[in-house]
Amino acid sequence: ENLDAALDGDRLEAIPIFAAMAGYTHHWDEHWRSTISGGYVWADPPPSLGSFAIDNTIYASANLMWHPTTSFRMGLEYLYGRKVTLDGSERDAHRFDFVLRYDLVR
């Protein structure tokens, strides 16, 4: 969302941002693995960006992957996101992904 800098009055000021992300991968056995991850972003944009500028966001994901060979893998992933704007509006987003991958060159 281009949160590098913004006008604060007649001066271009850097926007303070705090962001953190963490993840963990667990290998259930030789062919199965799962990864969970999450992230948080907080911004302090000036009023010049308007009431729809990002205040904070949250992101989370979890998946289950099956890889029976070194060249082939498939799996399911769930993703969640939430965005809060300066005016206090909040919106959630949910997404499921299916992944199918085959490497032709190893």
| pLDDT one-digit tens code per residue, 43-65 | 988 888 888 888 999 999 999 99
The model's pLDDT over 11-40, given as tens digits with 9 standing for 90+, comes to 888 889 999 999 999 999 999 999 999 999
Query: How far is it, in rounded angstroms, from Cα 106 to Cα 98?
Result: 23
Mean pLDDT within 61-79: 96
User: Other CB atoms closer than 10 Å to residue 63's CB: what's the count?
Assistant: 17
pTM score: 0.81
**Residue 21 has what pLDDT?**
97
**Residue 2 has what pLDDT?**
61
